[in-house]
Amino acid sequence: MNIYVLLKRTFDTEEKITLSNGKINEDGAEFIINPYDEYAVEEAIQVRDAQGGEVTVISVGTEEAEKQLRTALAMGADKAVLINIEDDIENGDQFTTAKIIGEYLKDKNADLIIAGNVAIDGGSGQVGPRVAEILGIPYITTITKLDIENGNVSVIRDVEGDSETIEASLPLLVTAQQGLNEPRYPSLPGIMKAKKKPLEELELDDLDLEEDDVEAKTKTIEIYLPAKKEAGKVLDGEISAQVTELVQLLRSEAKVI
């Protein structure tokens, strides 16, 4: 089975967000594999171990993403591909990323592509379905279970708390929802092995793409931080009196009840 994972390097969830010159300040921030993509890596490894084949992890970004790709290799992925757009693209969007990944994957005969259902930074959740559309293959988003037998796929999809059992066949793209699996930590031997695993670096030229081909369809005109919330009123007195006061405040002051 020829399995591909789409992986994004994102800010650690612990990070506070600050701005400098109207952009998100990355100085000193810790970066991680997007948590939903971590489920994707884990699932790909499990499918390969059960079915045979190879797991290739792809990321579109800058050379800094090599660290997250190495982590995926240390978890057990076989190969990694970094499509470095640092010199070519300044303001890409989801169309840009999907177009690049689609171009890379179009002649790879992928059987299964797994992505996270959303990245915790941009939060758009578009790239997976857009890649499937470019490749002309079906997709199922926010899955919590994946079973493959003789090329037939059965998945459970989380739909706002409901569970849909869906059948499809390969090739297929799925996006991972929390609960799909428990991602493993890289083992020490895994980390050692990962250093020797192949990590290919490509640029737009290598994919025969021009900057115009991948030009964004949207534009960000401003980034800002939400107004800082002032600490509110902590009530005191007997608990029952506090409860009565709270209900009054919610009615008359906050007017939400």
Pair 35, 100: CB distance under 8 Å: no
Q: How far is Cα 81 from Cα 36, in angstroms, rounded to an integer?
A: 19
User: Segment 19-38, which members bind other proteins (CB under 8 A)?
Assistant: 19, 24, 35-36
Q: Does 163 bind other proteins (CB under 8 A)?
A: yes
- How far is Cα 152 from Cα 154, in angstroms, rounded to an integer? 7
Is 152 near other proteins (CB under 8 A)? no
Give yes or no for residue 213 binding other proteins (CB under 8 A): no
Scored b (16 or more CB within 10 A) or e, 172-191 reads bbbbbbeebbebeebeeebe
* Near other proteins in 48-87, by CB under 8 A: none
Of these, 28, 52, 123, 189, which contacts other proteins (CB under 8 A)? 123
Among 88, 95, 190, 191, binds other proteins (CB under 8 A): 95
State which residue, 199 or 249, has the beta carbon closest to other proteins.
249
- Closer residue to other proteins, CB minimum distance, 26 or 205: 26
Q: Does 164 bind other proteins (CB under 8 A)?
A: yes
Residue with Cβ nearer other proteins (164 or 206): 164
| Cα→Cα distances 33→56, 88, 118, 148, Å | 15, 23, 12, 26
